[in-house]
Amino acid sequence: MSNLYNDKEAIEKENWKKAPGIKSPGETNSALAKRDYSKECKCPYCITVIKGYFLWWCSIHHQPLNLCQIEQLRDIINEEI
């Protein structure tokens, strides 16, 4: 059973090159990889809790959930413009 406050070990076991939301994994590292935000996020792991705020990990895009949300909002804004 995972620890609700720190799933760091589970996150480190994920292979970022096999994440469904990663495009062209051989070109770069996990932080710089291009992502396909049309794929729905899946956030089974909690990175940490800071003063009552939970930070979640997106296993589909292999990054913190807030980065997924920022890019999804950016896409919506660009579509509206």
- pLDDT in the model for residue 1: 41
- pLDDT in the model for residue 66: 95
* Measured distance between the N- and C-terminal CA atoms of the chain, rounded to whole angstroms: 45
Domain boundaries in the chain?
8-80
- pLDDT in the model for residue 3: 56
- pLDDT in the model for residue 70: 96
Q: Is the dihedral of CA 23, 26, 47, 64 positive or negative?
A: negative
- pLDDT in the model for residue 25: 72
Q: What is the pLDDT along the chain (81 residues), one digit of tens a residue?
A: 445 667 899 999 999 999 999 987 777 888 899 999 999 999 999 999 999 999 999 999 999 999 999 999 998 999 988
Q: What is the Rg, in whole angstroms, of the alpha carbon atoms belonging to the chain?
A: 14
Helix (H) or strand (E) holding 80: helix 65-80
